[in-house]
Structure 1
């Protein structure tokens, strides 16, 4: 069974869900988005910034994979966040533009991955400088799981602010019927 299909599905789901969340978030004024809601990253804006910071760090690591995925090369030109709670963008408009750029890159990258790329062990250092050697496929799964985890937090924070994101289930994007 191909591991590429689920990766592409998760990239598409990621893009779809982020578009929904950002549309919902833009319905709130800036002070509501940055209000401390006692979440792990404080606010809606803080949590969305965390996702952009985390995605940037992981995509920069993935860009150093020996397969040299061209879709990821532009991320190497961006500064590496210094922490995962760094407020990279102070408003939803700037953050949204970065999110769209990242999501397009993630979808393009997912379509460029070869099955053999997933069997690689990726060497990198944590943000604290601790070296790691991890299964690349497992890291890709972590990447998408991390996004889903924090988007769940954001949908809760938006709901508490009176904004309904709507359907969020992956099953909506799973094609019907059998595909070879």
Structure 2
């Protein structure tokens, strides 16, 4: 039976959190100097790139929840200079996105979300905003992944999307994250 669009968004939210977990866990193997070191990318370091993912996640997740945080989300472009602090903060916003997607219904996908842009209010359908958010995360995680390949830490696999070949590792990580296959894929 094909998954519903709602279940697809839920799976994307879980996969997003899993990829963030894997990438930040790998980055924990870097020294602080390596994490902050200048590198080639849209943002000048792993630290800046991964903090950018976090602050934009805050911006959009807040809007999806009906909040009005707006551009103050990125007032501090690097709110978490260390990997450990960033990992905890990213996990918290990832849990919020998962909770939001868990509460979705087919009817709510067409709802209009108001996004505080400070000088204007953007209105966007919820499904389109979620697609944009997931694409943004994938785009910048790919850049961070490439930057990590310039270090002594091996970049983790991020494109398995819970594939069967990753089952033993996935089961271990799911235990760490408090997840189950049923939570990700539904009944």
The alignment status of 1:119 with 2:110, answered yes or no, reads yes
Which residue number corresponds to residue 91 of structure 2? 100
How many Å separate the matches in 1 of 2:138 and 2:109? 21
Question: Which secondary structure does the structure 1 equivalent of 2:14 belong to?
Answer: helix
Do the aligned residues in 2 keep the contact of 1:33 with 1:43 (CA within 8 Å)? yes
Do the aligned residues in 2 keep the contact of 1:61 with 1:124 (CA within 8 Å)? yes
Which residue, 56, 64, 81 being the options, matches 2:73? 81
Which residue, 132, 154, 166 being the options, matches 1:142? 132
The structure-2 alpha-carbon separation of the partners of 1:12 and 1:43, relative to structure 1 and needing over 3 Å to count, comes to same
Which residue, 53, 56, 61 being the options, matches 2:55? 53
The alignment status of 1:157 with 2:147, answered yes or no, reads yes
> Aligned pair count?
164
Do the aligned residues in 2 keep the contact of 1:13 with 1:173 (CA within 8 Å)? no
**Deviation (angstroms), 1:163:** 2.1
How many Å separate the matches in 1 of 2:158 and 2:86? 21
TM score, norm. by length of structure 1: 0.81
TM score, norm. by length of structure 2: 0.78
Segments ≥4 residues shifted beyond 4 Å: none
Question: Which secondary structure does the structure 1 equivalent of 2:132 belong to?
Answer: helix
1:80-119 CA-to-partner distances (Å, cap 9, x unmatched) read 4244x71111211111110111112222221111111111
